[in-house]
Structure 1
Amino acid sequence: MIQAPTPLLLSQSRPEPEIQAGDSGALVEALQRRLTDLGYYSGPITGFFGEMTETAVIRFQRDHELTTDGIVGTGTANALRRAGGAAPRRDNPLTLEVGDQGPAVETLQNQLTTLGYYDGPITGYFGPLTESALKDFQAAQGLVVDGVVGSATQSALDNALQGQAAPQSTSSVASASDGGDSPDPNDGILESGEAGSDIAVIQRQLQVLGYYNDSIDGDFGQNTETAVIAFQRSQSLTVDGKVGPATTAALDSVVRSLGTTSPSASSSSVATASSTGDAGRISDLPPAASTGGASSSSVGRVSAVPGNVGGTAVPAVSDRNVLEVQRRLQDQGFYSGALDGDLGPATRQAIQSAQRRYGLDGEDFDL
């Protein structure tokens, strides 16, 4: 394991040691930060070289025509230092493409986020995540799918954004003429601006599934809407940030598939959420990248380890739940062992690493 504190991207006085999957320490942390700055890595800065870090390195190597082995040697380290400068244009200085950076790229990322195509960090760097989102948009609009923002693509972006804003403007005028601008509490749809026990249930479900990290207050605010949108996108539902019959059914189905009783909105459940404190925060790990609905929520199942959480006895964890935990921890770079459903030393150590990374007290889980 690499322990040297030498900054990965600054020192050029001697050859860097190779950094690869399984390594940990300051060099890996510096690598993760650099890959984040360049738009290739969107996971937590853990200092552990896991699957997410390796995937980000391979993407960077591919884009820079390096050997795609996922290992950071001298060549890849030098390329990481040089990356992020002004990128050469093909033929048109008014285009945006991979390698560009700055406010124009930030605007593009925000536009693609609004339109539901991009869910990565707003970095201002045109990396593979931005390119992939742009290509999806181009394909949906019947444009040439080249991952480059030219005049046709920019015009399509502007039109799509105007098309989204128009219905909102119309509804606002109609609402004002009706003498109110609040959502209808009796339409069977939960949405931003509403409040009540039904919304507390939704918040609790989203929290259990790892999409919602705020307080269970029964208030459908921005954080709740963002969590709903992330869940809808993961389940291939209509992405509108509203909880209608389809989204409600999907939430219930995913929660049931994990062997978890759908949370109620009783005062006791809300009180437990606040009184257990950090015990629920293991589910604050970002959702897994591409592992489906079940695995995206698996870290929340850590609290099913036999023992006592917040003064409440909990049942024994199943092999399936341990497997989901392993997958989630692996996706976040904490676990590199076998996906075998065994709550052994390696899995426990990974859980403890996640607890430390997210500021949890080890006593919150009887491991």
Structure 2
Amino acid sequence: MELNTIKDAFDRVSKRQKTSYTKTQDIIDSVGKEIELALNKLLNASEGSGVDQNAVIAELNAKLNEIGPTNQLGGSQKELNVALSKYGKVVDKQFYPDIAKAYREVEFDGHIINMIVALHFYRQGLFELGDCFISEANEHGAASLKAPFVEMYEMLEQMKARNLQPALAWASAHSDELVRKGSALEFKLHALQYMQILERGIQRDALTFARSSFAPFAPLHMEEIQKLMGCLLWTGRLENSPYSELLSSSHWDALSLELTQECCSLLGQSYKSPLHVTISAGCQALPTLLKLSNVMANKKQEWQTMRQLPVEIELDREFQFHSIFACPVSRDQSTEENPPMLMPCGHVLCKQSIVKLSKSNTRTFKCPYCPLEATVAQCRQLYF
């Protein structure tokens, strides 16, 4: 779905609407001004000033005809209607009424699907909805998925209230696992707690906290610790110090995000919900799949039984979790039996395409993308 296309069409409608509104308001103001002038003249005429009432009305009528409010408003409204009509067509084109055409018969494990949906609700913090779902789906075994995310959201809620104690306790309990992952989360939480104490202007308490908390992290974070110690000299006026950036609320937001990522990681879960990723990727692939299904239907060919799609599905980088290679000649995706091969010229083809081009293992062949020639023996397998 090309959301940018819809947005551009909407922006054009919005621009036309603003132009039409401005023009309409100007015309109304002009007409109102002329009517007001005419009324003043008619009032003077009623007081015996000798003003011809018919002449005043005739003059008003002439000026209104000169302004031409009906024609001007009609033209402006017509332009708006045209833009609005085009916008409707763009929306109809992008939002397909029947997406079932892109569906392929695939066997799904209902239990796994239910677990994925329940997990999505829990990791989004929608605990009541998750409980209701597993109850109605009769998947009571999924209830065990809830507890770790309840703990995570309690920590995040406390961090919003500027209370780091639950997060510090969790980081301390999982300290060894965080160290093995190379995570600096525990140190960052201690550093934020230290800055919070110092921000209150309590220098002695901050120094005591630093002595008891920073020692285990000194080998890896000495530079950061020295910077934090420098803040002691600016107690009570940190906002005017060289370390004022350490008071930014962005550190709380960044640490909340990192805490969420580490919690999910230690649970063996990805940071983003698998259900959300799958649906988002599917929305990007849907227009291509619908177009393919229509083309195949017109050719009276069945695509349900295809082992490989005849077109590439372009997805954003966020949906590419491992390196893949599709041969630019055969369009086939590389496999262990048909690996990518680097030619001396720098171009890469799959092994089967190189064998077909060479027609034998000793014969030279020309690269399909440049004038250089090579042999199969000169090509090297690539590993992604």
Q: What TM-score range do you get, normalising by the shorter chain?
A: under 0.3
TM-score of the superposed pair, with normalisation by structure 2? 0.20
Using CA pairs under 8 Å that are at least 6 residues apart, name the structure with larger relative contact order, 1 or 2. 1
TM-score of the superposed pair, with normalisation by structure 1? 0.20
Larger Rg: 2
Q: Which has the higher helix share?
A: 2
